[in-house]
């Protein structure tokens, strides 16, 4: 609509335009953000009328605004309630309650948590791993989502569900509580960083070391561990000999192993096997059995990785069992053969 076709807006629009001019650009910009397009059009029209009006129109409009405010008189309390209600609609209860009741605004997470809020995710995960799920949940809830996710993926997998469950129930946390937690954890974090500590997988390192020694020595070490921790020894036995290690069996031992494996289980296991290992299995089968297995592998289609890994673990466990019974000989990578 052209400027000369804009109808007269009335004193209210002129007063609003004059007040916004008097508030200054920064405050006026914040007010405009709260207005809809129709309201902005009315203010703009009032501004155009002020521009065309005789000198002194802006002070007159401001005086009219002040006069209207003075007429509120004894209704100031009602006006306060009205302003509070309008602000709640725009900003929400928490912000308005703090602003109108004089409550201090919450500090930013990095100000409350201190160095914890900007800590390296791996170092923070090392520190938090020793804490209770509720404490971890409090800290992660106060971090920015990206950093919290980086810490979470470095925490033990079995600890994640309890932590997430507690995070989902957190609605508000007193800054004093977060500050106390942050200060305590910051001490541990400084010790971790100063000591140059880093996360290591001791179990994996031990297994790699054991795999580098002959099988008989592996057996003695695992037997010693079994006296104190049978569960750990059992886990190490399973990981010391994997499905890929079947490739080290002699043809005679592999043929003995094949007698103990069900055809569907073998098909699943070989679906994810290296071509060389698959070929070794086929070579140690009868021509008819090898042909049937090849047809099954071609027809099986896509399968879940977990199903393949389970089948391979079962075959490796069967080989271990046969070795324990003296029916086959397991050859480790470090064993010397003549």
Do 15 and 90 fall into the same domain?
A: yes
- Rounded to whole angstroms, the Cα distance separating 51 from 36 reads 23
User: CA 108: distance to chain centroid?
Assistant: 21
Q: How many CB atoms lie within 10 A of CB 164?
A: 14
Note the pLDDT tens digit of each residue in 254-264.
999 999 999 99
Range of the domain at 276: 241-338
* Distance of alpha carbon 259 from alpha carbon 256, whole angstroms: 5
Of the two residues 306 and 178, the one the predictor is more confident about is 306
Q: How many domains does the chain have?
A: 3
331 found inside a domain: yes
In a domain, 332, yes or no: yes
Answer yes or no: is pLDDT of 1 > 50: no
Instruction: Report how far residue 237's alpha carbon sits from residue 207's, in angstroms, rounded to the nearest whole number.
Output: 9
Query: Mean per-residue pLDDT for 274-300?
Result: 91
Looking up residue 320, the CATH number of its domain turns out to be 1.10.220.30
Mean pLDDT of the chain, nearest integer: 76
Both tokens assigned to 16: 């609003």
The verdict on 254 and 329 lying in the same domain is yes
In-domain check, residue 229: no
Cα 314 to its chain centre, rounded Å, is 33
The two three-digit tokens of residue 284, written as one number: 């140690």
Say if residue 322's pLDDT is above 60.
Answer: yes
Determine, yes or no, domain membership for 300. Answer: yes
Q: Per-residue pLDDT tens for 47-79?
A: 777 677 666 666 666 666 556 555 545 444 444
Helix axes 263-271, 305-324, angle to 10 degrees: 120
Q: Is residue 291 part of a domain?
A: yes
Provide the 3-class DSSP secondary structure of residue 249: coil
Residues 215, 222: contact at Cβ < 8 Å? no
Lowest mean pLDDT among 18-32, 144-158, 266-280: 18-32
Helices and strands (H and E) in the chain: how many: 20, 0
pTM above 0.75, yes or no: no
Do 89 and 134 reside in the same domain of the chain? Answer: no
Dist CA 129 CA 62 (whole Å): 63
Q: What is the pLDDT of residues 153-192, one digit of tens each?
A: 888 888 888 888 888 888 777 778 878 888 888 888 777 6
Task: Give the end of a domain, one of 175, 194, 213.
Answer: 194
CA 11 and chain centroid, separation: 56
Contact 126, 159 (CB under 8 A): no
Residues 80 and 156 in one domain: no
Mark 151-161 as b/e (b = at least 16 C-beta within 10 Å). Answer: bbebbeeeeee
- pLDDT attached to residue 195: 54
- Asked whether residue 209 is assigned to any structural domain, the reply reads no
Q: Of 15-24, 237-246, 321-330, where does mean pLDDT reach its minimum? A: 15-24
């Amino acid at each position: 609509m052209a400027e000369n076709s804009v109808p007269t807006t009335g004193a209210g629009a002129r007063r609003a335009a004059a007040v916004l001019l008097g508030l200054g650009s920064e405050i006026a910009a914040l007010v405009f953000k709260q207005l809809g397009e129709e309201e902005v059009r009315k203010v703009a029209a009032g501004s155009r009328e002020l521009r065309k009006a005789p000198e002194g129109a802006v002070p007159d409009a401001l005086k009219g605004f002040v006069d209207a405010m003075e007429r509120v008189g004894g209704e100031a309390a009602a006006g306060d309630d009205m302003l509070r209600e309008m602000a709640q609609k725009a900003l929400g209860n928490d912000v308005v309650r703090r602003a109108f009741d004089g409550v201090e605004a919450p500090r930013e997470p990095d100000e409350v948590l201190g160095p914890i809020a900007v800590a390296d995710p791996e170092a923070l995960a090392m520190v938090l791993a020793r804490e209770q799920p509720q404490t971890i949940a409090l800290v992660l809830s106060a971090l920015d989502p990206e950093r919290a996710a980086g810490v979470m993926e470095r925490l033990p997998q079995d600890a994640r569900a309890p932590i997430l469950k507690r995070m989902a129930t957190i609605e508000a946390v007193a800054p004093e509580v977060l500050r106390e937690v942050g200060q305590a954890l910051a001490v541990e974090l400084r010790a971790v960083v100063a000591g140059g500590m880093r996360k290591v997988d001791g179990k994996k390192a031990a297994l790699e070391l054991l795999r580098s020694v002959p099988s008989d020595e592996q057996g003695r070490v695992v037997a010693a561990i079994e006296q104190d921790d049978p569960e750990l020894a059992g886990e190490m036995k399973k990981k010391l000999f994997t499905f890929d290690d079947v490739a080290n069996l002699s043809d005679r031992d592999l043929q003995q192993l094949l007698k103990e494996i069900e055809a569907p289980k073998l098909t699943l296991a070989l679906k994810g096997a290296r071509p060389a290992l698959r070929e070794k299995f086929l070579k140690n089968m009868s021509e008819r059995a090898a042909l049937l297995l090849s047809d099954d592998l071609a027809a099986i289609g896509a399968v879940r990785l977990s199903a393949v890994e389970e089948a391979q673990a079962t075959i490796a466990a069967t080989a271990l069992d046969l070795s324990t019974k003296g029916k086959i000989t397991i050859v480790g990578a470090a064993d010397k053969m003549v």
